[in-house]
Structure 1
């Protein structure tokens, strides 16, 4: 008699699940039936600002997930998980389907945590989902083409994403032959990088036309946005880089969440409230070891996830994943340079961006080679 197979649904095509797809044969060998539920394409966050700045076309940062799943024999449902019935172990999908599971793994990324009224403003541009950010590039280019100048852009958010997006938008204006008209608004002095690195970055951006404003954007009106202290700033386009949180389906699970709305998991990557639910990447955080939303953690967690999904079927011991305390992050500054950060070390210049391109393009090109996808010129 053949052994019953465990149906494990991979919800989302984030960094970790892309790795799981490539090791599907190993999972099937121990009795796992993996199924992928995700949109047909994956927009890679590491190259998002390169697309926004005009340095790369959108296709260069987009992967054909359907082709990758097909290459490794994993059934793919081009939808998203809309709701979960934990007790019945069933998923309701965005296309109306109902899907049973023995275990489910969430690798669904993150969305912009937009405050108050700004979150409901359809005219604002959140930095995630990334498709929205790619559309922003087209909007800016259209404005420049029609008006002959840069739109007045306000980026709200003083974290690394806010600075990187502001730099990318400055680069987009520069590539289109106009000087940026751009303001970066943040509530307090940034502290996410060494002080000297932040000082140099601020000087670089100021020379390129990016003005920093301390405050909080609370509303937007035609042609301007208003800060909490009553000041008004010229604003044709408002970009929200106000932090990240998990997609709504994560909060709807009713499982323990971190303060920033991400699923809390143990070292085995299972949620604290249901051993049949795994989570990795931006939508999750290991309890007691908080880390920012960054692709490196999904990549590093992937081998442990593969092992632990298989352990459900063969009864082997779960493998813990311990996120590293120091990691490399590189901001693309939109002008052919980058800012590399690792712990207290930093470097700004062309070498930093060259390293970033080598890492990011190598990651995607490796996946394309595995799937057989060919980019058109």
Structure 2
């Protein structure tokens, strides 16, 4: 089923490329707002534009995929609790509803002098105002062989395809399969436990799972109760945890740790710290040391005031923010408001991040924990609570889009 649903990516792109080429010239006489990436902030911008169009402005979204995943539901997709359509937003449909253009393409460069975005499958796209919400990707360049071997958790589409392909190839294997997840943060823990749940139910006693955590403790940004819970859960699930070790190299069959220990694997998932797409820094826009765009309190580039950046791609200069999806979601309404304000020459609104945020982590099955500061709860009801939150979010962009201009 998942394999069939993944084919929607290519089908949507082929159709929308034709539509874009036919309709693109209709926006030439308007102020051009261009969105790079179909992340959590930009879907809020598109919806707001559809409900309240900006007079004299056009909106264009550039994305390599017409279906964008909601990251909070991906562990549930891997575990088998959700269907593909449950946790993907149809950007083509959303753009068509909002009266926006959709350009299918991978970003190759930004020309800040001519104000053009260069794509691989489309003529350069001009902008008067630009917004970037492309997310991030695991920082693999410092690990020998990592760009060739293993499966980065982002882009999510590629990871899901790699995981599904491996599951199919593993179907007839008779020996235990060795799965290694590199990264002891929230993403690493949830992805690991989702895969463990899926394989353990399918092939009891035929899996060997290992987590490699560079820190001495897992979930370093969570409270002690959450860390203790998952320490016990991993141990009771028979999952090996290697702490305080870094992967320095990988080939087709094994990982090499910094103490020269070799770790054999059949499937390896990269869930390590994030880095930015290289074309951001190469464009000349001012970035931090990791390549993320430096933005002010208005989510606007400190070097190019006609460019906004949100989500993981942004480096918030008033105060450092974790690379967590909740920030991209909360930045969406502020970003939409400021894009409209800049076009209308009105004052901008500052983004005020919450000091703490609620973290909901799943254990593979329909069980979850919640933490917020020192607060901690666990149970099946927490999973159902999270499920309700996630499905309510998705409904905003799937079945319950309001009538335009209301």
TM-score normalized with structure 2 length = 0.85
Q: CA deviation at 1:134?
A: 1.0
Say which of 178, 181, 184 aligns to 2:211: 184
- Secondary structure of the residue aligned to 2:397 is helix
Counterpart in the other structure of 2:385: 355
Q: CA deviation at 1:61?
A: 1.6
The answer (yes or no) to whether the contact 2:180–2:212 under 8 Å persists in 1 is yes
Cα distance in 2, alignment partners of residues 196 and 309 from structure 1 = 41
Q: CA deviation at 1:286?
A: 1.4
- Secondary structure of the residue aligned to 2:179 is strand
- 1:134-149 pair list within 5 angstroms: 134-148=160-174
Say which of 362, 367, 372 aligns to 2:397: 367
Is it true that 1:267 corresponds to 2:297 in the alignment?
yes
Q: CA deviation at 1:143?
A: 4.7
- 1:173-252 pair list within 5 angstroms: 173-179=199-205, 180-190=207-217, 191-214=220-243, 215-252=245-282
Cα distance in 2, alignment partners of residues 333 and 161 from structure 1 = 12
The answer (yes or no) to whether the contact 2:140–2:147 under 8 Å persists in 1 is no
CA pair 369-119 structure 1, distance change in 2 beyond 3 A: farther
Q: CA deviation at 1:332?
A: 1.8
Cα distance in 2, alignment partners of residues 111 and 172 from structure 1 = 24
Q: CA deviation at 1:183?
A: 0.6
Is it true that 1:15 corresponds to 2:40 in the alignment?
yes
Question: What do residues 222-248 of structure 1 show as CA deviations (whole Å, max 9, x unaligned)?
Answer: 433221111122311221111122222
The answer (yes or no) to whether the contact 1:150–1:178 under 8 Å persists in 2 is no
Counterpart in the other structure of 1:162: 188
Say which of 88, 96, 102 aligns to 1:62: 88
In terms of mean alpha carbon deviation, does 99-108 or 191-200 score higher? Answer: 191-200
Counterpart in the other structure of 1:127: 153
Structure 1: gaps (5+ residues): 373-377
Counterpart in the other structure of 2:355: 325
In terms of mean alpha carbon deviation, does 233-242 or 319-328 score higher? Answer: 233-242
- Secondary structure of the residue aligned to 2:294 is strand
- 1:292-331 pair list within 5 angstroms: 292-331=322-361
Q: CA deviation at 1:197?
A: 2.0
Is it true that 1:28 corresponds to 2:57 in the alignment?
no
Cα distance in 2, alignment partners of residues 285 and 349 from structure 1 = 35
Q: CA deviation at 1:71?
A: 0.9
Cα distance in 2, alignment partners of residues 64 and 25 from structure 1 = 15
The answer (yes or no) to whether the contact 1:112–1:129 under 8 Å persists in 2 is no
The answer (yes or no) to whether the contact 1:27–1:34 under 8 Å persists in 2 is no
The answer (yes or no) to whether the contact 2:112–2:284 under 8 Å persists in 1 is no
Counterpart in the other structure of 1:5: 30
Equivalenced residue count is 369
Cα distance in 1, alignment partners of residues 267 and 34 from structure 2 = 39
- Secondary structure of the residue aligned to 1:301 is helix
Structure 2: gaps (5+ residues): 1-28
